């Protein structure tokens, strides 16, 4: 008589993982990284990721001998390491130079609608959004393009939007040597729109106001500039 293989019931940790993924819980302000995260070279990572991704394709039943699929593992591996997750490596932090605020401009500087692409760390599907950033000079300024580059650096990681907001804020405060920084992010998560609840209309807004931006008048001025 054939016996049915017992099906394991979900454990507490399985349920917790599912809930965290759907609720977008962030476990740390810093991106969780292993201590040996950068012991391998980029070339070694690409080679090993390609092997593992090839195994995933095999398990899915894809025929990797097909011309269209044969190069996919290597392409995915290079994309992970050199492009969409390149912000994990601190060596890729943008070169940001400070300049004296010779104009004596003491009002807020706002850089809005910075388009970015990131990936949700719970399902590894895209987050597409816009970042709005402002700072009030404490005596130093940076080139406008460097603000964009800082946003892109932290976006190029497996992310949670709350963490991304905090990381951009912290980096700008350290680079500009001022606490007077504000960051607002408005983004669409494909883990919400393309799977799960499949809500294609909603977006997620996160904000971090520091220093003078905690003052209601200053905060409201910034929100007016970005149309919120």
Number of domains in the chain: 2
> Which tokens hold the place of 28?
């740390």
Range of the domain at 25: 12-92
Domain harbouring 61, CATH code:
1.10.286.10
pLDDT in tens, 211-223: 999 999 999 999 9
Nearest Cα neighbor of 134 from 100, 199, 178 is: 178
**Position of tokens 């959004």?**
129
Q: Per residue in 82-109, pLDDT tens? A: 999 999 999 999 999 999 999 889 999 9
Q: What are phi and psi of 84, to 5 degrees?
A: -70, -15
For 36, residues 6+ apart whose C-beta sits below 8 A from its C-beta are none
Residues involved in catalysis: 120-123, 161, 189, 191
Classify residue 7: in a domain, yes or no.
no
Cβ-Cβ contacts under 8 Å for 105 (sequence gap 6 or more): 137, 141
Residue 118 has pLDDT above 50, yes or no: yes
Partnered with residue 116 across adjacent β-strands are 129
CA 5 from chain centre, in angstroms, equals: 41
d(CA 67, CA 37): 33
Residues 186 and 147 in one domain: yes
For residue 225, what pLDDT band results from cuts at 50, 70 and 90? very high
CATH assignment at residue 109: 3.30.1130.10
């Amino acid at each position: 008589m054939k016996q049915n293989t017992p099906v394991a019931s979900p454990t507490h940790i399985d349920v917790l993982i599912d809930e965290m993924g759907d609720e977008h819980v962030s476990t740390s302000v810093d991106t969780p990284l292993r201590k040996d995260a950068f012991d391998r070279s980029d070339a070694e990572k690409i080679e090993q990721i390609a092997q593992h991704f090839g195994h995933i394709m095999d398990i899915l039943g894809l025929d990797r001998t097909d011309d269209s699929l044969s190069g996919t593992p290597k392409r995915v591996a290079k994309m992970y390491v050199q492009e969409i997750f390149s912000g994990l490596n601190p060596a890729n932090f943008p070169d940001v130079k400070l300049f004296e605020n010779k104009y004596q401009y003491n009002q807020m500087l706002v850089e809005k609608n910075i388009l970015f692409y990131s990936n949700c760390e719970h399902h590894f599907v895209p987050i597409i959004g816009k970042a709005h950033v402002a700072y009030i000079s404490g005596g130093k300024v940076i080139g406008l393009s460097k603000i964009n580059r800082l946003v892109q650096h932290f976006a190029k990681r497996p992310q949670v939007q709350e963490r991304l907001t905090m990381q951009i804020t912290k980096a700008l405060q350290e680079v500009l040597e001022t606490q007077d920084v504000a960051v607002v992010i408005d983004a669409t998560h494909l883990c919400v729109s393309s799977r799960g609840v499949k809500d294609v209309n909603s977006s997620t807004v996160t904000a971090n106001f520091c220093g003078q931006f905690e003052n209601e008048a200053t905060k409201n001025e910034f929100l007016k500039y970005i149309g919120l």
